[in-house]
Chains A and B, each alone.
Chain A
Amino acid sequence: MSSLNSLEISSLSTYYTTKRGYLKAVDKVSFNLPKGSVLGLAGESGSGKSTIVNTIFRVLPKNAIVKEGSIMFNNEDLLKMNLNFFRKEISWKKISWIPQGSMSILDPVYTVKSQMIETINAHEDISRAEAMEIIYKSLKAVNLPDDVLNKYPHQLSGGQKQRIVIASALLLDPEIVVADEPTTALDVVVQAEIVKLIKELQKQRGFSMIFVTHDLSLLAGVSNYLAILYGGKLVELGTTEDIFKDPLHPYTQMFLKAIPDIRKWKERKLYYIPGELPDLISPPKGCIFNPRCPLAGGICKESSPGLEEVSKGHLVACYFARGGKRND
C-alpha cells in the first residue's frame, strides 16, 4: 500500500443475509484515507455507511458476510488479521471509533471514570496513576472539567456525553478515528461546538479521520475528501472542494441541491429527488440510481457503471457524467 495512505479499502462488499435473499449493503466500494486528512463518508439512510464502519471494526452482526475486498492498514489486511490480536492491538489503540448512537453506549450504571479506565486497561498494561494521567489529558482536550469523571451518564447533557465518547476514542492516541454520525442526535448549536472540537483535535494531533454523516453541509466545513454513497455503491469520490463546486454524478448534484441553504431562503425553491431509495435485496438492473435519474439512458438500465477518474483525484460512477467515458 502507498505510504501516503493510512487506510486503503478496495473492492469491499458486505452483504446481509435476510429471508428474502442477500441484501447488498456495501457493494464493491473502494477508497483511500490519505494520512492526516479527513474523509467524509456521506449518504442517505441505508446507503451502507455504518456497514462500512462496522466492517472496518469487525463488529458486524451475525447475518453479515464480507463477500470480498480488503482493508489495508500498515500493509496488513484488517479483515484477515487474528480477531483477538485485532481487538487488543488495533481497535481503539490504532484505529478508534465513535459509533453511531454512541451517547447510548455509555453504561448507565458506571461512572465516566470507571468506563474510561476500563477502556485503557483492555489495551495497555499501565498503572492506575498513569491511566488517570491519560484520562485527565483527554478530558482537557475535549474541554470538560475533571468533575464529570465521577458522574453517571444520566447526569450529563447530550453534548457532554458526546464529548466523553470523543475523549474515550482519543484516549490511546490512535492513528485513525472513525466517527459514525457523531452529531446526529444533537442540537444545531451543540453540533457546531462538537464539530469545531473534532476539527481542532484533528489539526492538533494529526490523526486521519473518517467522518460519517448524512448531512453533507456539515462535511463542507470538516472534510478534505468526500465519498458519496448511494444504495451501497460509491457513486462519487473527490476532494470536498471539487465535489461541492463541480458535482458530477446526477445523484450528488441533486443531493446538494436538496440541502437547504439558509442563505438562499428567499428563493423558496425546494428541490428533491423524486422516487424512493432502492430495495437493496432486489436492486434495479443496471445503475442503482437509474429509476430516479433524469439523465438515465438505455445503457443505464443495462449495466452498472464503474468508478472512473474524470479529473485528477475526482472519480465518478456514471455513464453520462461530464467527461465520463461512454461505453455505448
Chain B
Amino acid sequence: MIEAEKISVEFKSGDRKINAVKEANITIGDGESIGLAGESGSGKTTLGKSLLALVKPKEGKVLWNGKNVFKIKGKDLKNFRRENQIIYQDPFDSIDIRMRIYDVISEGLTVQGFSKQEQREIIYSALKSVGLNPPEAYSNAFPTQLSGGQLQRVAIARSIVLNPKFIVADEPVSMLDVSIRSGILQIFQDMKEKGTSSLIISHDISTLAYVVDKIYIMYLGHVVEYGTTQQIIEKPLHPYTQALISAIPIPEPNHETEIKLVETNEPVPPKGCPLYPRCPFRKNVCLDNEPKMTEVEPGHYVSCHLY
C-alpha cells in the first residue's frame, strides 16, 4: 500500500515558481487499480513520480508500508525500487537507444542482483507476456529498430520483470495507435488479476474507465475529485470533471458534445478555487476560499463549494 499525504511539489524555472502539485492526497490499496486524469500540465506525472520518490516534494510524505519513501536508504531503498515500478509516457525517451533490448530489460535485474541464468529465463518470459514473440528475435534488436508500440511493450517488460507490487503507468498508451492500444491495456488488466496494484495516468478518461477501479481528477496541481469509476463517470460532481466527461468525443455521427467551461483569460485567484475563472457555477465564496475535500457519498470525494 502506498499513501501520499499532502504532497506539494514546486519547480523553479528561472525565477518563476511552478506549483506543479498542491497538497495532494492519494491512497493506493493492495491490488487496486487507480486512474489519474486531468488536463495537460495539471501535475499528473509529477504526482506519480513523487509516489516513487523520483521527484522531491516541498512538503508532505509518501508512506510505503509505513516508511516515508523520501527517507529510506540502502537495502530498504533497493527493495522499494524493486517493488514499485514506473512506465514512462514516452518510450523513445525512457529507453537508452544505445542498449540492446535484452540489456534494457536486464538492467533492473542486474541491479537487483539476479544471476545471469535467472535473468535469461525471466526476460524471455516477460517478452512473451507483452506480446514480443519470439523473444530471441527481439532481445537482440536495438530500440531504433522497433516501432513505438513495440518499444512501449519493452518499457513495460522492463518494469514487470522485477515482479513489482505497484506500477505507475504514465500515459502508457497515448503514444500508440488506437488499433493496438487495447493490447497494451490488456497487459495491465492481466497484471491486476495477479494482484499488482497500479496508478494509470491518462488525460483520456474513456480509456481509463475501461481498466481502473477508482479515478482521481486533477486540476492545476490540485486533486479536485475522486471516487469509484462508476461514481466519476456517471455522477461527476466537480464542474471540471463534468466538463471533462462531457467533452469526450462520442463515436456516433451527429453527436453534439457539450462545452461546460467558460473560456476566459482571467487569472486564477491566489486563495480561492483554482477553477474559479472558468467555472460556470462560481459563487463569491469560491474567489477567496479554497474548497475542502468532502465526502459527498461513500467513497466519493470532491473539493467544491457546491457540495
Q: Are A and B subunits of one complex?
A: yes
Q: How far is the CB of A187 from chain B (nearest CB, A)?
A: 4
| A260 touching B177, Cβ below 8 Å | no
Q: Tell me the smallest distance from the CB of B22 to a CB of chain A, in Å.
A: 19
- The list of the 4 closest CB pairs from A to B, nearest first, reads A265-B209, A270-B182, A272-B182, A217-B251
B284 lies within 8 A of chain A by Cβ: no
In this assembly, does A188 line the interface, its C-beta being within 8 Å of a C-beta of chain B? yes
Once A191-B247, A192-B259, A258-B178 are accepted as A-B contacts, the answer to whether A220 and B253 lie under 8 Å apart by CB is: yes
Contact of A277 among B147, B189, B203, B250 (CB under 8 A): B147
Neighbouring B residues of A255 by C-beta, 8 Å: 178-179
A192-B257, A220-B249, A266-B230 provided; 15 other pairs, C-beta below 8 A?
A: A188-B205, A189-B261, A193-B263, A215-B178, A217-B249, A217-B251, A220-B253, A245-B253, A258-B179, A259-B251, A261-B206, A262-B250, A272-B180, A276-B150, A277-B177
**What residues on A are CB-neighbors of B13 within 8 Å?**
none
Contact of B203 among A188, A195, A215, A216 (CB under 8 A): A188
Interface residue count for A (Cβ, 8 Å)? 45
**B307 at interface by CB-CB < 8 Å:** no
User: What are 20 sample pairs from A and B whose C-beta atoms fall under 8 A apart?
Assistant: A159-B263, A189-B247, A192-B249, A193-B259, A216-B251, A241-B254, A254-B179, A255-B178, A258-B179, A259-B178, A260-B204, A261-B206, A261-B251, A262-B245, A265-B229, A270-B186, A270-B210, A272-B182, A273-B179, A276-B147
Are A271 and B204 CB-contacts (below 8 A) given A191-B247, A221-B257, A240-B253? no
Residues of A within 8 A of B257 (CB): 192, 195-196, 221
Rounded to whole angstroms, the CA-CA distance of A187 and B203 in the bound complex is 8
A10–B40 Cα distance when bound, in Å, is 40
- Kindly report which residue of chain B lies nearest to residue A44, judged by CB atoms: B177
**Least Cβ–Cβ distance between A38 and chain B, in angstroms:** 12
Q: Evaluate contact between A187 and B250: CB separation under 8 angstroms.
A: no
Contact A260 B256 (CB under 8 A): no
Contact A260 B249 (CB under 8 A): no
A-B contacts at CB below 8 angstroms, number? 124
Residue of A189, A191, A266 contacting most chain B CB atoms (<10 Å): A189
Closest partner residue, chain B, to A276 (CB atom) = B147
B274 to chain A: closest CB distance in Å? 14
Interface size on B, residues (CB 8 A): 44
| CB interface residues, B 140-154, toward A, < 8 Å | 147, 149-150
Cβ contacts B222-264/A at 8 Å (1 or 0 each): 0000000110010000000001110111111111110101010
Residues of B within 8 A of A263 (CB): 250
Measured in the bound complex, the distance between the Cα atoms of B211 and A266 in whole Å is: 10
Chain B residues, CB < 8 A from A245: 253
Is B207 close to A, CB under 8 A? yes
Q: Which A residues between 49 and 101 are near B, CB-CB below 8 angstroms?
A: none
Chain B residues lying within 8 Å of A220, measured Cβ to Cβ, are 249-255
CB–CB A268/B210 < 8 A: yes
Which residues of B sit under 8 angstroms from A268, Cβ to Cβ? 210-211
By a CB distance below 8 angstroms, the chain A residues around B209 are 260, 262, 265
Taking CB atoms and an 8 Å cut-off, the chain A residues in 132-161 that contact chain B are: 143, 145, 158-159
Q: In angstroms, how far is the closest chain B Cβ from the Cβ of A306?
A: 23
Tell me whether A299 is interfacial, beta carbon within 8 Å: no
- State whether A262 touches B256 (Cβ < 8 A): no
Residue pair B177, A214 in contact (C-beta under 8 Å): yes
Cβ of A260 and Cβ of B206 under 8 Å apart? yes
State whether A258 and B182 are in contact (beta carbons under 8 Å apart), knowing that A187-B39, A187-B40, A189-B243 are contacts in the complex: yes
Write the nearest CB–CB distance from B120 to chain A, whole angstroms.
25
Q: In residues 160-203 of chain A, which contact B (Cβ within 8 Å)?
A: 187-193, 195-196
Contact B182 A221 (CB under 8 A): no
Interface residues of B in 115-169 (CB under 8 A from A): 147, 149-150
> A263's closest neighbor in chain B, by CB?
B250
Bound CA span A145–B263, Å: 11
A221 pairs with B250, CB closer than 8 A: yes
A245 to B254, CA, bound (A): 12
Contacts of A270 in B (CB 8 A): 182, 185-186, 189, 210-211
Q: Is B265 an interface residue (CB 8 A)?
A: yes
Task: Let me know if A145 and B179 touch, CB within 8 A.
Answer: no
A window 230-250: CB within 8 A of B:
240-241, 244-245
B49 adjacent to chain A (CB < 8 Å) = no
Is B56 positioned at the interface, with any CB of A under 8 Å from its CB?
no
| CB of A218 closer than 8 Å to a CB of B | yes
The listed residue (A193, A254, A262) touching B206 by CB distance below 8 A is: A262
**Which residues on B sit within 8 Å (CB–CB) of A262?**
205-206, 209, 233, 245, 248, 250
Is B305 in contact with chain A by the CB < 8 A criterion?
Answer: no
Q: Closest Cβ of chain B: how far from A290's Cβ, in Å?
A: 15
> Which residues of A are found within 8 Å of B81, using beta-carbon distances?
none
Asked if B249 contacts A265 (CB within 8 A), the reply is no
A-contact 0/1 string along B173-210, CB 8 Å cutoff: 00001111111011001000000000000011111011
A276 near B182 with CB under 8 A, answer no
Residues of A within 8 A of B229 (CB): 265
Smallest beta-carbon distance B230→chain A, Å: 8
| Bound form: Cα–Cα A159–B249 in Å | 17
CB-nearest residue of chain A to B180: A272
A256 within 8 A of B: yes
Task: Say whether A114 faces chain B, with CB atoms less than 8 Å apart.
Answer: no
Q: Are A272 and B247 in contact (CB under 8 A)?
A: no
CB neighbors of A among B81-119 (8 A): none
Judge whether A45 is part of the interface by a CB distance below 8 angstroms.
yes
Residues of B within 8 A of A214 (CB): 177-178
